[in-house]
Chains A and B, each alone.
Chain A
């Protein structure tokens, strides 16, 4: 059915979709005074009363610090100083934007940034000049509407209740066809996070039947990669880049697949290209630095870590790894003084025992690699003393790095203890166990190592079996208590952690909700997610846990009822 409108004005004006745009607070950021006036006129024409203006990124930051704006219209190209993307990132990192506020990035031409998927912080929409009132109002309404549609999904996402969030996506598609692609893209991401790659693949494949979306093809590649089919994944990422040379995520994934294939030189080349296309990503520069360090390209590693430190300053992704990487680079260049300065800076900016430990390891490596074996040994001794004081052990990779260094400088007991810790916490991971055996072999402790590994594995499986036996024989309270102790002894063992959480949940399912048990189970699961994100069992347990919260929907039907209630609600004001 067609609707015909015949008016001198031409067409129906855009409906405001029940949004009071006149009461919102607006900020216009543009270095060109004529454009600011023009935009102010347009905003006044849609009823806006509170409009502030800034002519530079710095001025914008001053105003953003003072006022919470509902709508920011920011030009990408601001002349000297920060560009629009940097203003956006700083505003988000410093928490100057509320979740409901809208950021529209204005540019003179269709911007590459809009399709790169590169920036850590995306604006809500891009608008191309010249901006007319009709376009402005249409896009504002659309973004606002989309934020409403995603509100509940985002909330579930933050709670890491990925399976419920994925179901909410389906429910919203039925209501809002116009956001179907975005919702399906989100659903696939959620399913991957929930450890359901097969279901995510189905979503991507259905989308690709419709259209060749870069992100969907890249998503399929990621699934292939997770399944260990690195070569097929590599070809898919390469294909995406062939179709769209600006889709930066495909470069990062391609580099990862090449690393997994052992092609470190090629991976480094790809990361270098990606970093040229989109240099302002902390993670990308870190990967480039680490890969370059690995293949011995010290100048490239130096460049990447320097950049990583510089952009990290204003980023939520600021990383201590950049300090350690840069210190290693300095060590290779025999600039010990600068390396030590960086290690001190790392400990100043990132307080905590683990960083202290990693700084000490890096210090030892720097001395060892620069040939100062006496000082390397001294670092090793200090490290041993630190390990004696601190019972908590760092993540597996750091433990292995530390053990390798300690053996190299001649320490014996501390590294052996560290490696036993690694084996106890990964007792059913044969690849890792082989790696540990190789380190013992290299330290000429092959036989002793083999015996220690066997003992550590036996201990871990006995602890686990006893807990499961108590549970299966109905001694749930004793099982919960036993697993608590097991967690102290084996703090990073995934199977122990999962079983412990399962038993806590089971306890509440049988004996009712308990605040303390809830907090405990949640803590265990969040620790698992830190250790290894994207586990299927994690998503299932989080979902079971969420259902135990009093007043929380228990069944899919109840979830639907919740949604109905949500739709009836008036849109929330910021």
Chain B
């Protein structure tokens, strides 16, 4: 097929390099998590612990960016992308997102609150949605004071997934980026734009009857800080 206009050799080379980079970042993140898990903050009063926590945060950002770039390169949102909706218990979605964030949040002293209907099932591409939510949680780590709340529920026939924090709220530039992306404008001028753009592409791929998924950013969320909202049909 003529999906990749560049030479196939170059594509193979890039693909295997990316594979390698992902392995390295996985190992880096995993090792940091193990170290942090073993070294509880109360036993370490020195600067090493918060520094390791920050390293993990940065590793996560790197990992997220790579995952998003890869998905965008493979044209998420286009017919060539392997989109695969499945029926997933919302509870299992929450478990997976929370477990990904656990060590980072613990090391930063942040509490994650989750709220969801225990028996709700929904149909979506699980890997893509986990990617969006995990990124939103990592993003909230930057803005929050000490609490992040993941809320999932059904609202007007849509699944509403919210990540809120108790920080100062998003800066105006982020909110503007959110509005633009929400209106379908590609906003790729800064790094936070990448995450938003990825999230909006994932949302748009989810269609059901006449409805389409969407994202938005707001301030004055339930915890007083910023709030990221993903809705899926």
Contact = CB atoms under 8 A, between A and B. Distances in A.
Interface stretch (B42-50, B114-122, B184-192, B212-220): B114-122
Contacts of B87: 177-181
Interface in B17-45: 18-20, 22-27, 29-31, 34
A110 interface: yes
B92 to A, nearest CB: 5
B153 A2 contact: yes
Contact of B95 (A13, A35, A212): A13
Given A77-B19, A246-B80, A110 B74 contact: yes
Contacts of B102: 9-10, 134
Contacts of B54: none
A530 B29 CA distance: 55
A109 B123 CA distance: 21
A37 B34 CA distance: 12
Interface in B65-103: 67, 70-71, 74, 79-89, 91-92, 94-102
Contact of B30 (A4, A5, A130): A130
Contact of B82 (A114, A129, A134, A178): A114
Contacts of B153: 2
A28 to B, nearest CB: 14
B176 interface: no
A276 B4 CA distance: 14
Interface stretch (B105-113, B163-171, B224-232): B105-113
A133 B99 contact: yes
Given A10-B98, A134-B100, A110 B116 contact: no
Given A4-B115, A34-B24, A109 B71 contact: yes
For B71, B92, B94, B112, the residue with the greatest tally of chain A CB atoms inside 10 Å of its CB is B92
Interface residues of B, number: 61
Contact of A34 (B23, B105, B128): B23
Nearest to B80: A245
Nearest to A131: B26
B82 A142 contact: no
Interface string A1-34: 1111111111111100000000000000000101
Given A14-B99, A41-B34, A108-B19, A177 B121 contact: yes
Contacts of B173: none
B114 A4 contact: yes
Contacts of A246: 80, 82
B1 A3 contact: no
Contact of A178 (B115, B117, B121): B121
List the 9 shortest-distance A-B pairs measured between CB atoms, nearest first: A134-B99, A11-B98, A10-B112, A34-B27, A130-B26, A10-B98, A38-B30, A115-B82, A108-B19
20 contacts: A1-B117, A3-B116, A6-B113, A9-B106, A10-B111, A10-B114, A11-B97, A11-B112, A12-B91, A14-B92, A38-B30, A108-B23, A109-B70, A110-B128, A177-B121, A178-B89, A181-B123, A243-B79, A244-B79, A276-B1
